Amino acid sequence: MKLSRLTIATFNLYNLNLPGRKIYTGAGWTQAQYDLKIAWTAHQLKLLAPDVLGVQELWHADALAAALDASGLADQYDLLVPPDADGTHIVCAALVRKGLLVGAPDWITGFPENFVLRSKGDDPQTPQIEVNIAGFSRPVLHCAIQPRDGQPAVQVYVCHFKSKAPTQVFKEDWYDKTVYGRHAKGLGSALSTIRRTAEAAALRFLLSEQMKGNDTPVIVLGDINDGQHSNTANILTEQPRYLVGDSEGGGDLALYTAQTLQEYRDTRDVYYTHVHQDIRESLDHILVSQEFYDNSKKRLWMFDGLVINNDHLNFEDHKALGTNDHGIIRAAFKYKPVTAKSPA
């Protein structure tokens, strides 16, 4: 295969399950709501038609397959869904255009064996900290694609980190309302932040193992439940420099946000993928290694624009409308290596 243009997208499906099945927030979808949801999801798939689509908040494999069938594109994609996507819990999944997939996908549940979050601190005044979390809230999907024959496969990771919603500590055995009632939100928010931070650090650990000392192209996409300049994003990207001369930048372990790449091409930033209490945030991201960064000395692919479908966020009744509660992002890259002429 020799693609001259590669499109990557991420789509939080908003609890896509079969009708009548329960979800964590309570009652699931009626048949009518499900039908609307499948139709709207199928429309988005047909509209964007990316080469790789990473999805989050999928419950049942059959529901995603139904949306793909309804889009009329089923014969064009390989459906990557874990074998346990039976409607009882949330998974990450993907659609990959046929001919791109290399090898078999895998879902990473546990944190790396050597991953440690423990420290006595950087100075004598700092108390010791230790975080004990064994794995990801939502297993990370890892797969590989090969858009150009004769070049290294692109390693793709689809993730979904813990939300910013406070953890419900009133369910814990230590919770005493008379003691903790006034502190429940603060403690719950701290726990969610710690969990999300640990997940970002664990994925960064895996990425560094994958990327260090080689020219392996990497794409990370998904709902990290945090913004472009958040600590969560900074851990994943390692905060690389962007404003450098032509073919002078790039970093071995760096990841670059498609949001920032778009900002350098546009006169106005309207990037948001979620609305909560009238606050517009960018929680969903596409991150790429130096092989996809315009100014990298090791560039293979040049950024070719970004699309965000988020108008549906102006209307909150997603169950009645069949919409989801996140914007859908698609980034495009054209094959243009630094040392080679553009393909015909």
pLDDT at residue 266, as a whole number: 80
How does pLDDT run across 155-199, given as a tens digit for each residue? 999 999 999 999 999 999 999 999 999 999 999 999 999 999 999
pLDDT at residue 245, as a whole number: 67
How far, rounded to the nearest angstrom, does the alpha carbon of residue 265 sit from its chain's CA centroid?
22
pLDDT(330) > 70: yes
Higher pLDDT, 202 or 343: 202
Question: Which residues does 95 contact at the CB level (< 8 Å), separation at least 6?
Answer: 45, 50, 52, 53, 55, 64, 68, 77, 78, 79, 80
SS3 222: strand
Q: How confident is the model at residue 276 (pLDDT cuts 50, 70, 90)?
A: confident
pLDDT(318) > 70: yes
- 33: tokens are 């709501």
How many residues comprise the chain? 344
How does pLDDT run across 252-267, given as a tens digit for each residue? 999 999 999 998 888 7
Pick from 110, 105, 10: nearest CA to 58: 10
pLDDT mean across residues, the chain: 93
pLDDT(101) > 60: yes
Higher pLDDT, 157 or 320: 157
Question: Which residues does 239 contact at the CB level (< 8 Å), separation at least 6?
Answer: none
Pick from 35, 2, 29: nearest CA to 14: 29
Percent of the chain residues topping a pLDDT of 70: 97
Question: Which residues does 226 contact at the CB level (< 8 Å), separation at least 6?
Answer: 161, 164, 196, 232, 233, 283
Neighbours of 328 (CB within 10 A): 25
Amino acid of residue 172: E
pLDDT(203) > 70: yes
Handedness of CA 23, 28, 31, 35 (dihedral sign): negative
Higher pLDDT, 146 or 121: 146
Handedness of CA 307, 313, 314, 318 (dihedral sign): positive
- 10: tokens are 């991420």
Residue with tokens 């650090």: 201
pLDDT at residue 343, as a whole number: 52
The CATH homologous superfamily for domain 5-335 is: Endonuclease/exonuclease/phosphatase (3.60.10.10)
pLDDT at residue 316, as a whole number: 83
Q: Is 234 within 8 Å of 257 (Cβ atoms)?
A: no
Reduced DSSP (H G I as helix, E B as strand, rest coil) percent helix, strand, coil of the chain, to 5: 25, 30, 40
Handedness of CA 274, 276, 281, 282 (dihedral sign): negative
pLDDT at residue 103, as a whole number: 97
pLDDT(300) > 70: yes
pLDDT at residue 100, as a whole number: 98
Contacts 24+ apart (CB under 8 A), 241-245: 242/295, 244/295, 245/295
pLDDT at residue 186, as a whole number: 97
Q: How confident is the model at residue 248 (pLDDT cuts 50, 70, 90)?
A: confident
| Dist. CA 7–CA 14, nearest whole Å | 22
The listed range with the strongest mean pLDDT (100-109, 249-258, 266-275) is: 100-109
pLDDT(342) > 60: no
8-state DSSP, 139: E
| Dist. CA 159–CA 226, nearest whole Å | 12
In the predicted model, what is the mean pLDDT of residues 218-242? 94
Whether the predicted model's global pTM rises above the 0.85 cut:
yes
Q: How confident is the model at residue 344 (pLDDT cuts 50, 70, 90)?
A: very low
pLDDT(227) > 70: yes
pLDDT at residue 269, as a whole number: 67
